Chains A and B, each alone.
Chain A
Amino acid sequence: MTEFFAAVVAGVVVFLAGFLGLSGPLGPQAACVIGYLAALLVFLAVVGGAKAMRTYAMGVEPEEKHGWTRYFSFDVDHKVVGIQYTAAAVIIFLVGGVLALVMRLELARHGLQFLTPEQYVTVMSLHGITMVVVALIATAGGLGNFIVPLQIGARDMAFPRLNALSFWLLPPAVILLLASPFLGGLDFGWTAYAPLSTQGTTIGKQLFILAFVTAGFSSIFGGVNFIATVLTMRAPGMGWARVPIFTWSIIATAIIQVMGTSVVAASLIMVTFDRVLHTTFFTADLGGNVLLYQHLFWYYSHPAVYIMILPAFGAILEILPVYARKPLFAYSLVAGALMTITALSFIVWAHHMFTSGMWMLLKLPFMINTELISIPTGVVFLSVMGTLWKAKLRLDSPLLWALAMVANFLIGGLTGIPLADAPTDLHLHDTWFIVAHFHFTIMGGAVFGFFAGFHHWFPKMTGRRLHESLAKLQCGLMFVGFNAVFIPLFWLGNHGMRRHVADFPAWMDPVQTFASFAALIVGASVIVFAWNVYSSLRGGAAAGDNPWEALTLEWQAASPPPHGNFKTPPVAAGHPYDYGVPS
């Protein structure tokens, strides 16, 4: 706790000292970059990185910490890191959600209400990037860190210190993002397309880029760690045919994190060079290429949506057999499908660029590659449907969340096809159709999938049960509210509603007002969630080790698991989904 506050103060002081000292000779852009890099190193050192390196060099085991203050420290226990990630995701989700409500208020009717166009673009950009961070870290970082080592019967992650580092890179990134509106704001969305991002001298833009790169390193470290952990630390008996499907999804995710993130970091560092060192990577007049940015950006940022959705697939596929009381249908096929999506995700990026002016003949292969992804995604649906068939469903809250996720993602997936299809995308690109589509996949899919996993594993993580009735109420409110907000947006998009704009023709008013009211229902559902978590943490019923009668290894540990996880090292004795009676 003290380390945390000391680190924040030290970081801010170093940043200000560097910024104020250097902006005279070097100019504010360079001063901001150098000041931030120094501040980041100081922050990480003070928060616990220096101590972790010292104890590592001296061969001392990391100490076991107790009490709630350890969540503010550089703790290397994967369960602490998992809870840090989960809590961070929920807090950032609340921030991004408030920004969404601000936008919906502004958009309740045509004309400008209470935001200037500049403020609207800043709010929209921040909503975008904060929610991207949430979707990237909630399930993969939060639930993944907590559950995957337990699920494979390991004591911890392969590189516990690296794990703590990957979490502690996030707070500086979030602080930068939240500071950017006060330092000139953003006007380039979350995609920071060049040359809009290389122009303009506000510090806010530069902070956004630095935050993006910092979060990218966090993601790479996390990915490396997951791959090493699952490859080397599985319990005896856990061959690849017995690896739980959630762990499979995390492997797939980790591969994308490692392979893709460095490319987007490179593109943003090139933007920084253009801004600070006046290189001309993206300046057309001076020999640069504007489209290069988009190619590099989407090479990562399309696979990034699979970093968001694959863990959600893994979570709901993990949940379904437990509550259906029968084996996961097509287990090996769906594990292969997750890996196939991972492979395909790297050859589809230019479907974001059908209208960009890239070489015309590239449209065809990218269109076909993208549509091929619907085949492995269809396998996920096959697995869901096959698992539900002749099941004995226990309609507990995690299953409801999983079913809601499937219903949402069905719409999200199907509306992706007209966007992959080049002729229709020429009309739909950059309209609200695409806004509705990705909210159905990321909010309806990834966030609902996170909530499914959260409700499933909360007893394991905390030792307490959530209130079942509140959980179901939240699920119902969020499902109804979310669909009511976003289904009309498809229609508006087709009829001419552009992305990124604060104003629209007056005839759209009834639909927009409706969506704004529906957004309040989503907001109410989040309040129910917050209350449920708070009251359950304080006075929820004790969970017991295995409240859902599940077979995967994490349920053999105590709830919450002690340091080192298992009293005796577990053995994977059978298939993880061996539920049900022979037919």
Chain B
Amino acid sequence: MKNRYAVVIIAALSALISWGLYAIFTSFPTMPQAASAQAAHVDAAWTGLLVVEGVIYAVVMAFLIYCVVAFRAAKRTEQGEKFDRSRGRFVEVGWIAGSVVLTLALAALGAHELRAIVGDAQADIDIEVRSSQFSWEFYYPKYKTFGAKLYMEKGKRHRLILTSSDVIHAFWVPEFRIKQDAVPGKAIPLIITPTKLGEYLLLCNQLCGRDHYDMQAIVEVLEHAEFEENMKAEF
């Protein structure tokens, strides 16, 4: 194989691997459905990383595959070529400059989306989320009602105030994306804006002991009227 075609072959191979990754990622969606306003920002950050990293993966793998195929020794006596020092230095500086720029760009994207997720502290509805081994309890201060199922209202900003009475637990609804630990001795707020009606599963996401696997609760996102009705019914 002639090395003068190396760039073309590696580029073609990179394109092929990238296309393969694209096909896989589109036929098996990489994230579950997004059901909160915050999820959109997480998914934006995720998609950005997926594209950049997919291309990096494809180029590096293409390079490695080309090398292994093209540079095999026919005889054990064959020796490789020493490289030209000055060209080597040029490659080193270019590589580092490129990786610095790329890293800072990814960090900037991350910081931007993080800011959007955190947002401001304003919320329409406060809910106290009380966790203990191995169950959840939800208290709605405005309605002075509580229960084992979390009701949320579509389109409203909810401030979940997470507390724990024993060990660390964590609040996670995969469709809402963002998660937060509930830590003994702290009341930690988590802002979530549900955007889709339906039932979801809340999972404890911090190992909390023997029955951690079973520490779950149902989350139901409702329209305004139904939500109000439920609050009264519970009361």
Contacts and interface: CB of A to CB of B under 8 A. Distances in A.
A379 interface: yes
B140 interface: no
B96 to A, nearest CB: 7
A503 B212 CA distance: 10
Contact of B83 (A360, A386, A496): A386
Contact of A393 (B57, B72, B81, B209): B72
Interface residues of A, number: 85
A290 B80 contact: no
A188 B79 contact: no
A327 B83 contact: yes
Interface string A415-429: 101100111101101
Interface in A367-421: 367-368, 371-372, 374-375, 378-379, 381-382, 384-386, 388-395, 403, 406-407, 410-411, 414-415, 417-418, 421
Interface string B179-214: 111011110100000000000010111111111111
Contacts of A326: 79-83
A377 B56 CA distance: 14
Contact of A290 (B3, B95, B100, B185): B185
B30 interface: yes
A551 to B, nearest CB: 12
Contacts of B103: 371-372, 374-375
19 contacts: A117-B214, A121-B207, A188-B207, A193-B167, A193-B168, A195-B166, A329-B83, A356-B181, A372-B103, A385-B63, A386-B91, A395-B68, A407-B61, A418-B49, A496-B201, A499-B205, A579-B80, A581-B79, A583-B83
A195 B168 CA distance: 7
B78 A325 contact: yes
B114 A285 contact: no
Interface string B114-148: 10011000000000000000000000000000000
A90 interface: no
B65 to A, nearest CB: 9
B205 A429 contact: yes
Interface of B: 3, 28, 30-32, 41-42, 45-46, 49, 53, 56-57, 60-61, 63-64, 67-68, 71-73, 76, 78-84, 88, 91-92, 95-96, 99-100, 103, 106-107, 110-111, 113-114, 117-118, 162, 166-168, 170, 172, 174, 177-181, 183-186, 188, 201, 203-214
Contacts of A364: 111, 114
B82 A582 contact: yes
User: Closest 7 CB pairs between A and B?
Assistant: A284-B185, A326-B80, A501-B213, A392-B73, A388-B67, A496-B174, A392-B78
Nearest to A427: B177
B99 to A, nearest CB: 4
Interface in A101-135: 117-118, 120-121
B64 A407 contact: yes
Contact of A388 (B3, B46, B71, B118): B71
A97 interface: no
Nearest to B39: A427
Given A326-B82, A414-B57, 14 more contacts: A330-B91, A368-B111, A388-B71, A393-B71, A403-B64, A414-B53, A417-B106, A421-B107, A424-B46, A424-B110, A494-B30, A498-B205, A500-B213, A501-B212
A57 interface: no
B167 A196 contact: yes
B67 A386 contact: no
A327 B82 contact: yes
A468 to B, nearest CB: 13
Quick one: which of A199, A355, A406 has the most chain B CB within 10 A?
A355
Quick one: which of A327, A411, A430 has the most chain B CB within 10 A?
A430
Contacts of A270: none
A324 interface: yes
Given A193-B168, A496-B203, A499-B207, A390 B213 contact: no
B96 A375 contact: yes
Contact of A421 (B64, B106, B181, B201): B106
Interface in A299-334: 324-327, 329-330, 333
Given A374-B99, A391-B80, A385 B60 contact: yes
A188 B166 CA distance: 14
Interface of A: 117-118, 120-121, 187-189, 191, 193, 195-196, 199, 284-285, 288-291, 324-327, 329-330, 333, 355-357, 360, 363-364, 367-368, 371-372, 374-375, 378-379, 381-382, 384-386, 388-395, 403, 406-407, 410-411, 414-415, 417-418, 421-424, 426-427, 429-431, 491, 494-496, 498-503, 579-583
A583 B114 contact: no
Given A503-B214, A583-B83, A426 B203 contact: no
B206 to A, nearest CB: 6
B118 A581 contact: no
Quick one: which of A381, A403, A423 has the most chain B CB within 10 A?
A423
Contacts of B28: 491
Contact of B92 (A382, A392, A426, A491): A382
Contacts of B204: 498
Given A121-B212, A418-B49, A426-B178, A500 B92 contact: no
A574 B73 CA distance: 25
Nearest to A385: B63
A427 B178 contact: yes
Contacts of A384: 64
A355 B176 CA distance: 14
Contacts of B174: 427, 495-496
A502 B67 contact: no
A46 to B, nearest CB: 38
Given A372-B103, A375-B96, A414-B56, A392 B166 contact: no
Contacts of B64: 384-385, 388, 403, 406-407
A423 B41 contact: yes
A500 B206 CA distance: 8
Contacts of A379: 92, 95-96, 99
Contacts of A187: 207, 209-210
A287 B56 CA distance: 48
B82 A196 contact: no
Given A407-B64, A491-B30, A494-B30, A325 B207 contact: no
A279 to B, nearest CB: 16
A14 B53 CA distance: 56
A424 B47 CA distance: 10
A500 B45 contact: no
